């Protein structure tokens, strides 16, 4: 069992809001811009795999561990209360539909 599976479980269970991301990921830059727009960056624990290691093989190992532990290896993935809430696709869809603020209110991320 990868050491990262235990880490993935610990990370998502220890914080109400967690984002799996990477500094080099354009979709993560987009999701981070959403958090900044709503002023909630400090409410989300950002687990940035690029800050953990600079090894591509380890990036894949970390993402595989999140897949096994949570069901998602997508960058970015937002976890709420230990469960997958969505990815940049959901954020973009909610933004297009004009429902993003409402959806973020439902999960308690914004007032």
With CA atoms as reference, report the closest residue to 45 among 15, 76, 65: 15
Q: What is the pLDDT of residue 92?
A: 98
Across the range 19-25, mean pLDDT stands at 97
Q: Report the C-alpha gap between 20 and 66 in whole angstroms.
A: 9
The count of domains in the chain is: 1
Residue 30 falls inside a structural domain: yes
Asked if the model's pLDDT at residue 93 lies above 90, the reply is: yes
Q: Report yes or no: 47 and 18 within 8 Å, Cβ to Cβ.
A: yes
Q: What is the pLDDT of residue 43?
A: 98
Residue 33 falls inside a structural domain: yes
The whole model's pTM is what?
0.92
Mean pLDDT estimate for the chain: 96
Helix, strand or coil, per DSSP, at residue 16: coil
Domain that holds residue 53: 3-106
């Amino acid at each position: 069992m990868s050491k990262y599976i235990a880490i993935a479980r610990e990370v998502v269970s220890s914080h109400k809001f967690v984002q799996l991301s990477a500094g080099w990921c354009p979709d993560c830059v987009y999701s981070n811009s959403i958090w900044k727009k709503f002023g909630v960056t400090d409410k989300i624990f950002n687990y940035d795999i690029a800050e953990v290691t600079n090894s591509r093989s380890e990036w894949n190992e970390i993402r595989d561990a999140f897949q096994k532990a949570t069901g998602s290896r997508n960058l970015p993935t937002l976890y709420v209360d230990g469960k997958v809430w969505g990815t940049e696709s959901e954020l973009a869809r909610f933004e297009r539909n004009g429902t993003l603020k409402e959806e973020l209110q439902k999960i308690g991320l914004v007032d």
